[in-house]
Amino acid sequence: NLGAIATPLFVPWVTLHWGWRWAFLISGGTGFIWLVLWLLVYRRPEEHTRVSQKELDYIRIDGSNSVAQMKRLRLIHYRQAWAFVAGKFLTDPIWWFYLFWIPDFLERKHGLSLIEIGLPVVVIYLIADVGSIVGGWLSSALIQRGRTVNWARKTAMLICALSVVPITWAYRIESLWGAILIIGLAAAAHQGFSANLFTLSSDTFPAQAVGSVVGMGGMAGAIGGMLIAKIVGYVLERTGSYRLPFFIAGSAYLVALLCIQILAPTLEPIKLKEKTAA
């Protein structure tokens, strides 16, 4: 979220002084800085000088469940994978909705200029940062109190899903900062929900399969993001109102949690079937 906080302050300034083309070039070019840092810092665990033998043993703790010989497409046969995919498909687009459309909403509803939008958007993502931390802490705290992983994760996700519901009425609120607080609460709840959603993959799949499952979910979330962009644009063109987009945002997490419960009623480690020789 640090990028989401800095961007609303930096990009408008660049746009006004140097034009929108430079805003795109500079913000896009920062990705190459990240790439250089990644190449300099990243090492495989067994090659990293800062990873102790104890840490390496922990990373490899479930190596006996190796899926090296299993085709990744076989993961689609597991309901737990689809639970994660469904959660990402339904909730990732809401985050993209916040990123892309909230500035437009603030301009349409509250008359903010490009420069004036910066501070309210920063406040939204500062609140979201808190949700990211609290959401992860909550389920961990429940587990430490003796609750099962299944109960703790889904309870935390339910609380987050309910916390998003008030955004349904954001389009009706006349107070700018009242709307910002409700949107900020929803963004925080998204982060808390997402933190617990990501753990579903590691709660149910062995380490060697987690990356593939998360990749499936990431793809589903990206597809959902493309769809929400078209849907919101179409709705605004036809109605000029954010009523339906905010309703979708307010209900998506409850629908996602229901899908997760149906597909994965219990969260427990599964054993993947390795590919057998012909």
Per-residue pLDDT tens over the stretch 78-91: 899 999 999 999 99
Residue 105: closest CA among 227, 274, 243: 243
Mean pLDDT by 10 residues, the chain (278 residues): 72 83 85 87 79 76 52 81 96 94 92 87 92 92 92 96 96 94 97 94 85 92 95 94 96 97 90 56
Count, residues in the chain:
278
Helices (H), the chain: 2-18, 20-41, 53-59, 79-110, 118-144, 149-164, 176-204, 207-239, 243-263
Residue 77's Cβ-count burial label (10 Å; 0-12, 13-18, 19+) is exposed
CA distance 8 to 18: 16
Report all structural domains of the chain as residue ranges with CATH numbers, in order of start. Answer: 1-61 (no CATH), 70-263 (1.20.1250.20)
For residue 150, the Cα-to-chain-centroid distance in whole angstroms is 20
Task: Find the angle CA(193)-CA(195)-CA(157) to the nearest 5 degrees.
Answer: 30
Tokens representing residue 176 in the block = 């700018």
pLDDT of residue 40: 87
74: Cβ–Cβ under 8 A, 6 or more apart, which residues? 272, 273, 275
147-178: pLDDT as tens digits: 999 999 999 999 999 999 999 999 999 999 99
Residue 247's Cβ-count burial label (10 Å; 0-12, 13-18, 19+) is middle
pLDDT of residue 99: 87
pLDDT of residue 274: 57
